[in-house]
Chain A
Amino acid sequence: MVSEVPLGAFLSGGVDSSAVVAMMAELSSEPVNTCSISFGDPAFNESEYAAQVATRYHTNHRVEQVDANDFDLIDKLAALYDEPYADSSAIPTYRVCQLARKNVTVALSGDGGDENFAGYRRYRWHLNEEHMRSFIPSAVRRPVFGLLGKLYPKADWAPKIFRAKSTFEGMARDSVEGYFHSVSLLSDAMRARLFSPDFSRALEGYRAVEVMYRHDARSPAQEPLARVQYLDIKTYLVGDILTKVDRASMAHALEVREPLLDHKLVEWASRLPASLKLQGGEGKYIFKKAMESHLPNEILYRKKMGFAVPLASWFRGPLKEKVRQAILGPTLKNTGFFNTDYLHELVDHHQAGLRDYSTPLWTLLMFEAFLRQNQST
């Protein structure tokens, strides 16, 4: 009657997936099936950390090296997502699901830990800005810092902490605008240049930040940290992360389950005081503390790597021509949505090495692929 399907887990070597695997291993009398992918480049390689956890919990661990230059997937991704979607980690996620499906039908994943327990680094930045904002009334902040931001020379090649311009601009914003700015792929200023006058008119003054204002207005969260966690749960978690995991897993007929998004756990974590989530600059503080008995400090307290894709070098090297053709070709031009001079500037400045515009270029590339695939149908 009951069909037995093999069950396993992703094991990236990060805190969340390691914690899930540790719990599974404790609960099971049989070895847990785990898998991870590795990249050739050690800067992007977490597989040795995954191997440590696998050894400790005696899992059936499977690692496969994937080619870092995995750009053949670009058109496939556009077909998978049906509408524009620009998180480039869709590529490695697709590969890890493909690998998992070779051994299991169901895999447990560690998504949601960063939203629930405040693991993202941007939360620290946001709280610092909030702290500074709290000293100066907004009536003063907006005109003074807005002006300083305009006068101060732009230095977007510098590490974020040295960018006085963005600090001044940040001070002129309110909390929601500030957080929106920190997660935006293309800032308000860049989008203003990207869109054609006709397209801007069609927007009738609509701004993407309104999505966040709408959620924030009904947010039950009160602490500054909780408020931005709430925004992430309502926007990034579902729109980016869960969409990515669903499409990547379904493309391989793999079922992924999300224990860290069990609503009982989510409810509990949301009611924790901020100091137990973010303490002394350490995100996911209580989660890591609790896991100390189960995982080595090396896993818990190292710099987060994540799945990174070497877009910047792709766009100057193997994809140089593809990017030019896609972004400067007829597909985007014919929409009338974009300012073509700015498209040229993005491509030229990136390829000449003057700027790193890899994120805007990837976002445009995926938009172009969407248009191309859906125009003809």
Chain B
Amino acid sequence: MCGIAGIFDTQAKRPIDQALLARMNQAQHHRGPDESGLHAEPGMAMAHKRLSIIDLSSGHQPLFNEDGSVVVVFNGEIYNFVDLIPELQALGHTFRTRCDTEVIVHAWEQWGEACVERFRGMFAFGLWDRNKETFFLARDRLGVKPLYYAVLDDGQLIFGSELKVLTAHPALRRDIDPRAIEEYFAYGYIPEPRTIYQQAFKLSPAHTLTVKRGQPIPQPREYWDVPFQPLVPMTQAEAQEELIPLLRESVKSAWSQRYRWGHFSPVA
């Protein structure tokens, strides 16, 4: 579990203030006290705070694809990554690690924006594809992992796992959004996609944001929704019988890494 942060120049390849990004990242130090990493190039920089869960030695972030043209910072767990590795290898991708972060860069190369549809789990990530001059933000289907972003007046897009990453940037305008206050006193929190600041937003669950340098910034796109339809006619007995194996599968999946790496053998 980690924190991510970044600055992307949506207009040009102006130099990024790395010291500033390091300070933004430091604001969320508590999210990942074990390790931090930063990558910068003209017009783009991203940073990461890491809490070690598995495979510390090969899971350093930001993480790159084979030729270094795609780079990602990632917070969360992709529970089905072990299934995706052989599929992507069969399609010609070369893995240097056995971690879920690397699955993201290869899945992006293979499936583009639709990569998120292949992931099962909780995630928020920022990805940069230098060849396509494309920046990509994504958040998991139910919103387990947080993701905040803002487009500053000078055209820089900044993002982070918490709002304090954004407010660490001096150019973020702190104008309070009156609508957020109306919402806060009704709900007790500020619902997605708004934040208390007019200039900053939450990326809504099951949404991605794709920004191409030099082009207008589009609205986030929804890639999934809770279906609710069609209703599946089911008797109580049938539903009862289906539920336990589904639940067991969900618990097992959230536990997957321990399973897959064989630390103990499941009874079932």
Chain A contacts to B: CB under 8 angstroms: 1-5, 7, 19-20, 23-24, 26-30, 82-87, 105-106, 108, 112, 180, 183-186, 188, 191, 194-195, 199, 202-203, 206-209, 211, 219-223, 226, 229-230, 233-240, 242-243, 246-247, 249-251, 253-268, 270-273, 276, 286-287, 289-290, 293-294, 337, 363, 367, 370, 374, 377
Contact = CB atoms under 8 A, between A and B. Distances in A.
B190 A83 contact: yes
Contact of B253 (A85, A259, A289): A259
B243 A286 contact: yes
Interface string B233-268: 110100110111011111111110010010111111
Given A24-B255, A191-B182, A208-B186, A2 B261 contact: yes
B96 to A, nearest CB: 13
A230 B226 contact: yes
B24 interface: no
Interface in B149-182: 162-164, 167, 174, 178-182
Contact of B239 (A83, A266, A272): A272
B121 to A, nearest CB: 8
A185 B186 contact: yes
Given A27-B268, A250-B31, A238 B250 contact: no
A363 B188 contact: yes
B188 A87 contact: yes
Given A108-B255, A220-B229, A272-B234, A211 B183 contact: yes
B120 A263 contact: yes
A220 B258 contact: no
A208 B182 contact: yes
B268 A26 contact: yes
B55 A3 contact: yes
Given A2-B55, A186-B185, A265 B247 contact: yes
B167 A377 contact: yes
Given A2-B261, A264-B246, 8 more contacts: A105-B51, A180-B186, A234-B191, A237-B142, A253-B32, A262-B250, A265-B246, A363-B184
Interface residues of B, number: 85
Interface of B: 1, 3, 28, 30-33, 51-58, 77, 79, 120, 122, 141-146, 162-164, 167, 174, 178-192, 195-197, 204-205, 224-234, 236, 239-240, 242-244, 246-255, 258, 261, 263-268
Given A3-B55, A5-B53, A83 B163 contact: yes
Contacts of A27: 248, 251-252, 255, 266-268
Nearest to A207: B182
Contact of B187 (A29, A185, A249, A273): A185
B31, B162, B251 — most chain A CB neighbours (10 Å): B251
Nearest to B250: A262
A240 to B, nearest CB: 5
Contact of B120 (A82, A238, A262): A262
B234 A273 contact: yes
Contact of A257 (B122, B189, B243): B122
